[in-house]
Amino acid sequence: MKMSFRWYGRQDSIPLEYIRQIPNMKNIVSAVYDVPPGEAWPEESIQELYRDITAAGLEFKVVESVPVHEDIKLGLPNRDTYIDNYIDTIARLSKIGIEVICYNFMPVFDWTRTQLDKQLEDGSTALVYYKEQLKKMDPVYSDLSLPGWDASYTREELQALISKYKELGEAGLWSNLEYFLNRVIPAAEEHGIKMAIHPDDPPWSIFGLPRIITNEANLDRFLNLYDSEANGITLCSGSLGCTSDNDMVKLAAKYISLNRVPFAHLRNIKILENGDFEESAHISSYGSLDMAAILQALYKNGFTGYIRPDHGRMIWGETGKPGYGLYDRALGSTYLSGIWEMLEKSGGK
Ligand SMILES: [Mn+2]
């Protein structure tokens, strides 16, 4: 297991020097952020990111994410140009020793929460998903926009995009994903990179949009689309774990033993009685997931990949990018490292 920390580049309010001071922290997960989706990342930007990270005494082996252009997901005629660019980015990332690329195949919206600063009982704030709040945010019927949305679309553009996806449906999205994998995975293999798809977050349809990377049956289907260790999964406990229908311990054991998990996001989530959820502190008793059992499944099945603490709460008065503060993620990572030390010393018991 190699511990890592997500960093948003020079515009991140957290200096790399601080991240390096977290015990057991050796790796940075990052990306080039100033290139529009669909374009190849310039060699110079990749080199600059690499130099910043390594100069701080940290390693750069995992990229999160290389975004997939909507035209690829929609299967539009110009998708091949965007896929060519994607493959160029893969080749360039391999030159600086990148081993894993995390990406997702979610239509229009990436992760979805309804509030980013919900105050928890202890005074900390966290990201939450409340269905009642979501109802008021449907972009088809209202101008309200969800936190974290791509504000570059006008309301009309957004509505047009959403209706295209509704027409495409799940079957169409699966077939466009397969097309993408058939072109990208051979390139990843050639360059020694493992592609790791991130599950849909949350793992169900929102606003009638198709979502397909959601549960065990669909993860099986995904892995069978292209049978290669370069076609893997980012095992995100906080995304798949948003519903108790997904048994995270079982899923971890299964896909790690198949050698299809090069990267894992580990965080806890508190599922409420009505199916809403709140992001919680990493420790098992604060949420619905048994983090020790998940790590045990990683250990027992020979996990050698990268993990990172995922979203943290905002604590100790910290302000910054919701979910991506320094303090709670640092606490999360040391908690995860502590469990791992015990697993190593006890032989996984
Ligand atoms: Mn995640």
Distance, in Å, from the CA atom of 61 to the CA atom of 65, rounded to the nearest integer, reads 12
Distance, in Å, from the CA atom of 33 to the CA atom of 41, rounded to the nearest integer, reads 9
Give 237 Cα–ligand 1 centroid separation in angstroms: 7
* Residue of 19, 27, 20, 38 whose CA lies nearest to 3: 27
Would the CA dihedral through 65, 66, 70, 74 be positive or negative? negative
Cβ proximity of 234 and 199 under 8 Å: yes
Helical segments of 191-307, H only: 216-225, 237-240, 248-257, 291-300
- Residue 205: the pLDDT is 86
Residue 345 in tokens = 């010393």
* Residue of 38, 263, 88 whose CA lies nearest to 191: 88
* Domain chopping of the chain, boundaries: 2-110+169-269+289-346
For all residues of the chain together, what is the average pLDDT? Answer: 93
Give 13 Cα–ligand 1 centroid separation in angstroms: 20
Residues 6+ apart with CB under 8 A from 346: none
- Residue 12: the pLDDT is 94
Give 57 Cα–ligand 1 centroid separation in angstroms: 25
Question: Which of the residues in the chain have pLDDT under 70?
Answer: 140-152
- Residue 146: the pLDDT is 63
Give 200 Cα–ligand 1 centroid separation in angstroms: 9
- Residue 348: the pLDDT is 87
Q: How is residue 62 annotated by DSSP? A: E
Give 294 Cα–ligand 1 centroid separation in angstroms: 15
Q: How far is CA 134 from CA 112, 249, 276, 313, in A?
A: 9, 29, 10, 21
- Residue 135: the pLDDT is 81
3-state SS of 164-207 is HHHHHHHHHHHHHHHHHHHHHHHHHHHCCCEEEECCCCCCCCCC
Position 103, amino acid: Y
59-64 vs 100-103, strand pairing mode: parallel
> What is the separation of C-alpha 338 from the centre of its chain, rounded to a whole number of angstroms?
23
Q: Helix or strand or coil: residue 225?
A: helix
Residue 334 in tokens = 């040391």
Cβ proximity of 310 and 238 under 8 Å: yes
Give 275 Cα–ligand 1 centroid separation in angstroms: 19
- Residue 144: the pLDDT is 54
Give 167 Cα–ligand 1 centroid separation in angstroms: 28
Give 265 Cα–ligand 1 centroid separation in angstroms: 5
Widest Cα–Cα separation across the chain: 58
Q: Facing residues of 178 across strands?
A: none
Give 315 Cα–ligand 1 centroid separation in angstroms: 20
Give 312 Cα–ligand 1 centroid separation in angstroms: 11
Give 100 Cα–ligand 1 centroid separation in angstroms: 14
Cβ proximity of 205 and 211 under 8 Å: yes
- Residue 149: the pLDDT is 63
Give 77 Cα–ligand 1 centroid separation in angstroms: 30
Give 310 Cα–ligand 1 centroid separation in angstroms: 6
Rounded to the nearest 10 degrees, how much is the dihedral formed by the CA atoms of 300, 310, 17, 67?
110
pTM: 0.94
Superfamily of domain 2-110+169-269+289-346: Divalent-metal-dependent TIM barrel enzymes (3.20.20.150)
- Residue 155: the pLDDT is 78
